[in-house]
Structure 1
Amino acid sequence: MGFSKLKIPRVCEHCSKPFEAKTVMTRFCSISCNNKAAKEIKKFEKERIEKLTLLKNYAIKIAEVQSREFISVSEATVMFGISKDTVHRYIKRGIITGVNLGSRLTRVKRSDFEALFSAVEVPDKSKEAPEKPTFKIGTCYTISEISEKYHADPATVNSVIRRNKIPTMKVGSFVYVPKNLIDKIFDGK
Structure 2
Amino acid sequence: MGFSKLKIPKICEFCEKPFEAKTVTTRFCSKYCSEKEGKRQKRIAKDLEEKQSLLEKSVKKIAEIQTRPYISVSEAVVLFGISKDTIRRLIKNGKIPAHNFGERLTRVSKLDLELMFTSVELPPKKEEKSKPNFEVGNCYTITEISEKFHADPGTVNNVIRRNKIPTKKVGSFVYVPKDEIDKIFANR
TM superposition score normalised by structure 1: 0.56
User: 1:13 deviation in Å?
Assistant: 1.6
Local SS of the residue matching 1:116: helix
User: 1:64 deviation in Å?
Assistant: 0.3
1:101-120 per-position Cα deviation (integer Å, ceiling 9, x unaligned): 11221111222222222232
Query: Is the 1:4–1:23 Cα contact (8 Å) retained in structure 2?
Result: no
Local SS of the residue matching 1:19: strand
Q: Counterparts of 1:99-118 in structure 2 under 5 Å?
A: 99-118=99-118
CA distance in 2, matches of 1:92, 1:33: 54
Q: Identity of paired residues, percent? A: 48
1:125 corresponds to: 126
Deviates more, 1:104-113 or 1:117-126: 117-126
2:152 corresponds to: none
TM superposition score normalised by structure 2: 0.56
User: 1:3 deviation in Å?
Assistant: 4.9
**Structure 1 unaligned spans of 5+:** 128-164, 169-177, 179-189
1:58-117 per-position Cα deviation (integer Å, ceiling 9, x unaligned): 543331012222111112223323222211111122222211111221111222222222
| Letter paired with 1:112 | D
2:46 corresponds to: 46
1:20-76 per-position Cα deviation (integer Å, ceiling 9, x unaligned): 222333211112211221222123223323443444455433310122221111122
CA distance in 2, matches of 1:121, 1:59: 28
User: 1:4 deviation in Å?
Assistant: 6.1
1:28 corresponds to: 28
**Structure 2 unaligned spans of 5+:** 129-160, 165-183
Q: 1:166 to 1:75 in 2, by over 3 A?
A: farther
CA distance in 1, matches of 2:114, 2:4: 64
Matched, 1:70 2:70: yes
1:183 corresponds to: none
Q: 1:126 to 1:4 in 2, by over 3 A?
A: farther
CA distance in 1, matches of 2:43, 2:83: 30
Query: Is the 2:6–2:21 Cα contact (8 Å) retained in structure 1?
Result: no
Number of corresponding residues: 131
CA distance in 1, matches of 2:5, 2:108: 70
Taking only aligned residues, the RMSD between alpha carbons, in angstroms, comes to: 3.1
CA distance in 2, matches of 1:70, 1:41: 43
